[in-house]
Chain A
Amino acid sequence: MTEKFDAIVVGAGMAGNAATYTMAKRGLKVLQLERGEYPGSKNVQGAILYAAQVEKLIPNFREDAPLERHLIEQRFWMMNENSHTGLHYRSDEFNEEKPNRYTIVRSQFDRWFSKEIQAAGALVLTETTVTELIKDQKGRVIGVRTDRADGEVLADVVVLAEGVNGLLGTRAGLRERPKRENVALAVKEMHFLPRETIEARFNLKGDEGAVIEAAGTISRGMAGMGFIYTNRESISIGLGCLVSDFARVQIAPYELLEGFKKHPSVAPLLEGSEVKEYAGHLIPEGGYRAVPQLCGDGWVVAGDAAQLNNAVHREGSNLALASGQMAGETIAELKANGVAPTARNLGLYKTRLMESFVMKDLKKYKDVPGLLHHNTQNFFLTYPQLVAKAMENFVRVDGTPKLEKEKRTWKDVVSARSLGGIVGDAVKMARAWR
C-alpha cells in the first residue's frame, strides 16, 4: 500500500531542513528524503552560518548546535601575482553574547539539524534518491518515486529542495537546468592544523574566527572568488569561477586552487597543514533574473534549486533557510485552512519571498552578475593589477618625487584601460549596485 503524507521534502540541506522542521513543528505529517548517507554527507559549503535566520527556526540553537568559530573579522583581498591589497574589518562588537555569524562544518551541523527535525516529529529517510515526480492526469504533482523497491510515496505537496542542479524539477519540466553562465564551480579543501596555530596565524583567541574573501588574478581572468574560512581545527580554502568561464579559459579548477594556495599571501597561512577533504560543487550565481517558477500545482521549490543565492554578499544558506521556512509556513497554513495546494494558493509562498529580504536583495543586485560576466577581464584581471601597481608605487620609497610617481600610476591606469572605459565601468557598477 502506498503511504500518503501531508508533505514530502526532497533534500536535507538548509532549505529542505527549514521546510521540514517548520511543517513538522506545526503538526504536519512530513517525510523528508535525502540521497546522502546522512544529512550533510553530500554537502560542500564553506561554510558560514548566519545566526539570525537559524534563530527564527530554533531560537536557542547556540546551546547545542555544532558551531566552529564566531566571526569577528572580515578581510577582502584584491590579489595580483605576488601581492594583495586588503580591506580588513575587525570589531570586538562581534564578540557579543549572541554572535551574528559562525563558521560551521556542514556535515556536522546538518546532522544536528536533522536530529531536531526528527524530534519535531518528521520522518527522515536517507540513502533514498527521488527519481521522479508523480503527477495525476491534470498534471498536478501528487507524490514521488524513489530508487527503492515499492518506492512510491504520495503527498499533498512536494517541496523541492534538491540543490543547485535540480535534476528532479528539470526532468519534470518545472524549470530549465541552470545555464552555465549562471552557475559557478567551486572547489574546496579542508586543511587541518592545531587550533593554537590557526589562532596565532589569524590573530584570534578562543572561538573567534576570521574570513578572507579574495578576488583578482587568482581567477586568471575568470569571474570568480577565493575564500579562506577559519574553523576550530581546520581551514577551509576554496575558489569558484563561472562554469562558462572555465569552459572558455580551459583551466582545471584544481590548478586554480593550487595557484591560490601557493600565493605568497596564502601559503604561510596553510603551512604544515594536513589536507583531509577536497570537494567541488556548483553555486547559483545568476541572481534575480535566473530565479525560475517558484511553485505550481502540488509543488514548491526552495533554496539553491530555486537559484536563491546572493552572489554579491556571498549569502546562500540563509536564503535557503528563509525560503524553506516560508515554503513550510505557507503549506502548513493552507493545510490548517483546508485550502488545496494549487499553484494559485501556493502563490502565497512567492508573495512572501518577494516581500522578504530574499527577493529584495536579489532584485537590488539583478544587474551585477551580467556586468561582471561581460566585463570579466577588466574586473578580475586589469583592475586588480592596477590597484597592486598603484599601491606599490605609493609604498615603495626609491627617491622618485611623489608627483612623478602619481603620474606614473596614472599612466599605468590609462594605458591599461581607457579613461572612458573605467568611468563607464564605475557608472555601470554604481547603477547595478543601487
Chain B
Amino acid sequence: MHIVVCIKQVPDSAQIRVHPVTNTIMRQGVPTIINPYDLFAIEEALRLRDKHGGLVTILTMGPPMAEESLRKALTFGADRAVLLTDRFFAGSDTLATSFALATAVKKIGEVFEPVDIVFTGKQTIDGDTAQVGPGIAKRLRLEQLTYVAGVTGLDLAGRTIEVERRAEGGVQALKTSLPCLITMLEGTNEIRRGSMPDALRAARAEIVTWSAKDAGIEDVTRCGLRGSPTVVKRVFAPTPRSEKAKFVEVPKDAAKPGDKGALAEALVESIFAHHPSLEADITTLARGY
C-alpha cells in the first residue's frame, strides 16, 4: 500500500502581527509550522501503514525552506518526502495548487509505487478554504471523503475503505473503493513522537526535490499567479478595540499582605471605580436571577 500525504508549511498564525500603521501582515521573524490540520492526516496515514504495511510519502509545494516541514514529517516516521518547488508556482491560488499537487501525485505513482490513498488536512490555517483536497480528488478522479474523523476499516484485497465522517447532526459511516482521497478532521488523533532511529534517519534523508517539469507539468501557465483566477482585492486588519487593558493598582493599605480575600475585594472596588457603569450593570443583571 502506498499513501501520499499532502502537507503545507504555513506561518504560525498565532504569532502573526499586523503592522499598527501600515495595516500589512508582518511576516518577518514569524516561525513556520506544518499546517496543524495536516498533522492529523500524517498520523492517520502512519497508523494505516503500521497496521497494513506499505509506505507513506509526504508531498508539499512551496519555497525551498518548506524542506524543514518535510524533514519534520520524516521525523514522525514517514518513509519519503517530495518537495515541489519552482518559481512558476509562486502566487498559486487553490485552483493552481490543486493542479500542481494532483500532477505530482500522479507522477509519484508512476516513479515510485501506485498510490492507494491521498491524505490532506481538512484545510490550512492560512487560507482556510478547504478546497485543495477536493480539487486534487476531482482532478485524479479519486473517491472523495472529506472531514473524516478516522479510518475504521481497510480491505486491501477487496480494494475498499471504511471511514467515519463527522457531519452536521451526526456521524456518517461511509464505505468506498480505493483509490481515494481523505481530508482529515482536527482532534481525531495525536501526532506521535518519532523514535530516535526515525529522527536520525530524517535528519540525514535526501528530500526528493522536483521542479514543475520534473513533476510532469507541461503547461506552466496553469501554475502560480498565471494559473490563478482568484484575486485578493484588499487586506485589512480588524479595527483595534478602543479599550485597552489597564493596570489597576490596589492601594497598599487596602489589604494585609497575604489576605487574598481583602485583596480581591479591593481589586473589584478599584475596577468599579474605573468603570462606574459596571457596578450598576452587574447589580441589574443579578436582580434578574
Footprint of B on A, CB under 8 Å? 3, 31, 37-38, 105, 107-108, 123-125, 127-128, 146-153, 192, 194, 258, 274, 276
The 4 nearest A-B residue pairs measured at CB: A149-B195, A148-B196, A151-B196, A150-B195
Q: Are the CB atoms of A149 and B203 closer together than 8 Å? A: no
Q: Are the CB atoms of B200 and A3 closer together than 8 Å? A: yes
Smallest Cβ distance from B245 to chain A, in angstroms? 11
Q: Are the CB atoms of A148 and B204 closer together than 8 Å? A: no
Against A, the Cβ 8 Å flags (1 = close, 0 = not) of B197-231 are 10110011000000000000000000000000000
Q: Are the CB atoms of B196 and A276 closer together than 8 Å? A: no
Please measure, in the bound complex, the distance between the C-alpha atom of A147 and the C-alpha atom of B31, giving whole angstroms: 24
Chain A to chain B contacts (Cβ below 8 Å), 23 pairs: A3-B197, A31-B200, A37-B31, A105-B29, A107-B29, A123-B203, A125-B200, A127-B75, A128-B196, A128-B199, A148-B195, A148-B196, A149-B194, A149-B195, A150-B195, A150-B196, A150-B197, A153-B196, A192-B17, A194-B21, A258-B247, A274-B20, A276-B17
Q: Are the CB atoms of B29 and A108 closer together than 8 Å? A: yes
Q: Are the CB atoms of B203 and A124 closer together than 8 Å? A: yes
The answer, yes or no, to whether B287 is at the interface (CB within 8 Å) is no
The answer, yes or no, to whether B241 is at the interface (CB within 8 Å) is no
Given the known A-B contacts A194-B21, A276-B17, are A148 and B29 also in contact in the complex, defined by CB atoms under 8 Å? Answer: no
Residues of A within 8 A of B195 (CB): 148-151
Q: Are the CB atoms of B193 and A148 closer together than 8 Å? A: yes
Residues of A within 8 A of B194 (CB): 148-149
Chain A: CB-nearest residue to B200: A3
Using A123-B203, A149-B196 as known contacts, list a sample of 6 further A-B pairs with CB atoms less than 8 Å apart, ordered by residue number in A. Answer: A37-B31, A123-B200, A149-B193, A150-B197, A151-B196, A192-B17
Smallest Cβ distance from A102 to chain B, in angstroms? 17
Smallest Cβ distance from A267 to chain B, in angstroms? 13
Please measure, in the bound complex, the distance between the C-alpha atom of A124 and the C-alpha atom of B203, giving whole angstroms: 7
Chain A: CB-nearest residue to B192: A149
Footprint of A on B, CB under 8 Å? 17, 20-21, 29, 31, 75, 193-197, 199-200, 203-204, 247
Q: Are the CB atoms of A152 and B196 closer together than 8 Å? A: yes
Chain B: CB-nearest residue to A31: B200
Residues of B within 8 A of A152 (CB): 196
Report which residue of A147, A148, A274, A276 has the largest number of chain B beta carbons within 10 angstroms of its beta carbon. Answer: A148
Report which residue of B17, B196, B200, B247 has the largest number of chain A beta carbons within 10 angstroms of its beta carbon. Answer: B196
Smallest Cβ distance from A104 to chain B, in angstroms? 12
Q: Are the CB atoms of A125 and B199 closer together than 8 Å? A: yes
Please measure, in the bound complex, the distance between the C-alpha atom of A276 and the C-alpha atom of B15, giving whole angstroms: 9
Please measure, in the bound complex, the distance between the C-alpha atom of A404 and the C-alpha atom of B20, giving whole angstroms: 54
Smallest Cβ distance from A68 to chain B, in angstroms? 11
Given the known A-B contacts A105-B29, A123-B204, are A148 and B20 also in contact in the complex, defined by CB atoms under 8 Å? Answer: no
Please measure, in the bound complex, the distance between the C-alpha atom of A127 and the C-alpha atom of B20, giving whole angstroms: 34
Residues of A within 8 A of B196 (CB): 128, 146, 148-153
Report which residue of B17, B29, B204 has the largest number of chain A beta carbons within 10 angstroms of its beta carbon. Answer: B29
Residues of A within 8 A of B247 (CB): 258
Chain B: CB-nearest residue to A233: B28
Residues of A within 8 A of B197 (CB): 3, 150
Smallest Cβ distance from A106 to chain B, in angstroms? 12
Residues of A within 8 A of B203 (CB): 123-125
Residues of A within 8 A of B17 (CB): 192, 274, 276
